[in-house]
């Protein structure tokens, strides 16, 4: 039994250390490809959509019919961060500009 242990210890001591010797360029290329895919399919379209939405908010004018927070109405007054929308005759509510979903 002791001979077997000595043989195993001898083999372990003389065996070369095995380490992965692969190039790290493959991993770098893989990461670059993943980031490129994320950018072109997620980040870029979202930036484009947000720019169009901001353009729509900047073009709001008194008298436009809008849907804000799920309620349709006509813009009566535009403030810096809010708009006043008439939803019925004599009923005016103040909503945030960012709540505007669409302009008709």
Q: What would the 3-class secondary structure string for 20-87 be? A: CCCCCHHHHHHHHHHHHHHHHHHHHHHHHHHHHHHHHHHCCCCCCEEEECCEEEEEEEECCCEEEEEE
Confidence of residue 13 (pLDDT cuts 50, 70, 90): low
By three-state DSSP, how is residue 15 classified? coil
Tell me: domain 61-104, CATH 2.30.30.60, correct?
Answer: yes
- How much is the pLDDT for 11? 52
Whether the model clears a pTM of 0.75, i.e. scores above it, the answer is no
- Mean per-residue pLDDT over the chain, rounded: 85
- Residue 69, C-beta contacts closer than 8 angstroms, at least 6 positions apart: 95, 99, 101
Residue with tokens 């169009």: 52
């Amino acid at each position: 039994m002791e001979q077997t242990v000595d043989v195993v210890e001898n083999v372990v001591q003389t065996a070369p250390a095995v380490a992965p010797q692969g190039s790290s360029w493959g991993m770098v290329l893989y990461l670059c490809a993943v980031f490129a895919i994320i950018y072109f399919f997620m980040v870029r379209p979202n930036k484009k959509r947000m720019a169009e939405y901001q353009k729509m908010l900047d073009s709001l004018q008194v008298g436009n019919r809008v849907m804000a927070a799920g309620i349709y109405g006509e813009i009566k007054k535009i403030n810096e961060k809010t708009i006043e929308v008439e939803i019925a005759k004599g009923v005016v509510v103040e909503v945030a500009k960012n709540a505007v979903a669409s302009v008709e």
